[in-house]
Amino acid sequence: MSELIGFVGLGNMGSPMSTRLVEAGYRVQAYDPAPAAAERAARAGAVVVGSPADAARDAGVVILMLPDSNVVEQVLTGEGFLTGMADGAIVIDMSSSEPGRTRVLAGRLAEQGVTLVDAPVSGGVSKAITGELAVMVGGEDEPVATVTPVLERFGRIFRAGPVGAGHAVKALNNLMSAAHLLVTSEAMLAGIEFGLDPAAMLAIFNSSSGRSGSTENKWPNFVLPESYNSGFGMRLMLKDMRIAAGLAEQLGLPSRLGERAIELWAQAAEQLPPTADHTEIARWLQDHHDDEGTEA
C-alpha cells in the first residue's frame, strides 16, 4: 500500500484524523474548501492542495470525510479524481452516507478499477484526537485488510459486513444516540424542575440501567456547562436519523419511536441556527417548555 494518502474533508472530525495520519508517518495530501481548515492541516504537516482531484493524485488510499452522499458522489465523479489515483487504489468513505447509495457507488467505482470501503466513525472530536473512535467498516476482506493499518490510527475497528454495512450501522447508531439524548434531556429537565441536583441524577443514572452516552458524556460535558460544543451538528444528526428510518422503511419494518424522535429533532433544527450543535436539543427542550408555559 502506498504511503501517500489523500484526505478530502478537514472539518471537526477530519482535521484531527488527518493529523493522526501525519503523526504516524504517512504523507497526506489534504483538501478542504474552507481556508481555516486548510491552514490547520498545513500546520499539522499535511500537504494542502487546491482540489479533491489533487488530493487523490497518485494516492493508493483516499479518505473522504464529507457531509453526505451527495457531496461524496460529487467529489468522486469530479474531473480527474478517479483517473489520477494510483493503480488499484482504495477509496475509504468515512462520511455518514446512505448505505444503498454507497453500494451503488461501489459498483460504479469497481467498473473503473477503484475499490470502495465504507468506514464511518463514532466517538466525537475528543476521541478523534486521541485515536479512540469506533470505526465501522463495510467492504470485502482483501481491501479491508489492506487499509486496516490506516484505519487503526483512528481507533477500534469493527467489521460490519459487506460494502454499505458500515454506513447502515452508523445511521442506526445515531438514531439510537439521538433518541437517548432526547429522552435523557426530558428526564433531566423533569428532575431539575422537581428540585433534584443534576450532578446527583447523572451519578445515579450512570450506575443504573438508564446509563447511556448521553448521561456519561453529553449532559455532563456539554449540556450542564452550557457549552454545547461537542463538534457534531444538529442537522448532521437529523440527517443520520432520517437515513436510519429510511432504511427501516425500505425493509418494511416499523420505526415508530424513531419517527417521533425525528419529528422533534426536525422542529429543533428548524428553530435553532444552522450551526447549532446537536447537544442543543436539551436547551431547545427547556426553551420549548418555557414557551408553552408562557402561552398557557
The per-residue pLDDT for 2 is 53
Do residues 180 and 113 share a domain? no
Do residues 17 and 143 share a domain? yes
Task: Tell me the mean pLDDT in the region 88-93.
Answer: 97
pLDDT over threshold 80, residue 241: yes
The enclosing domain of 149 has a CATH number of 3.40.50.720
Do residues 136 and 223 share a domain? no
The per-residue pLDDT for 225 is 97
Do residues 183 and 150 share a domain? no
| Residue 101 dihedral angles phi and psi, to the nearest 5° | -70, -35
Cα–Cα separations (whole angstroms), residue 14 to 1, 40, 92, 121, 254? 21, 11, 13, 11, 34
Do residues 173 and 253 share a domain? yes
Task: Tell me the mean pLDDT in the region 82-103.
Answer: 96
Q: Which three cell numbers stand for residue 107?
A: 459498483
The Cα–Cα gap between 87 and 35 comes to: 31
Task: Tell me the mean pLDDT in the region 160-181.
Answer: 98
CA 174 to chain centre: 9
Residues 210-226 have pLDDT tens digits of 999 999 999 999 999 99
Task: Using pLDDT thresholds of 50, 70 and 90, give the confidence band for residue 291.
Answer: low
Residue 218 falls in the annotated catalytic set: no
Do residues 179 and 54 share a domain? no
pLDDT over threshold 60, residue 120: yes
The Cα–Cα gap between 59 and 256 comes to: 44
The per-residue pLDDT for 125 is 94
pLDDT > 90: percent of the chain: 96
pLDDT over threshold 60, residue 294: no
The per-residue pLDDT for 296 is 32
Do residues 77 and 203 share a domain? no
Task: Using pLDDT thresholds of 50, 70 and 90, give the confidence band for residue 24.
Answer: very high
The per-residue pLDDT for 288 is 82
pLDDT over threshold 70, residue 48: yes
Domain region containing 259: 168-295
Task: Tell me the mean pLDDT in the region 186-196.
Answer: 98
Q: pTM score, two decimals?
A: 0.92
For 20-54, give one letter per residue: b (16+ CB within 10 A) or e.
bbbeeebebbbbbeeeebbebbeebebbbbebbbb
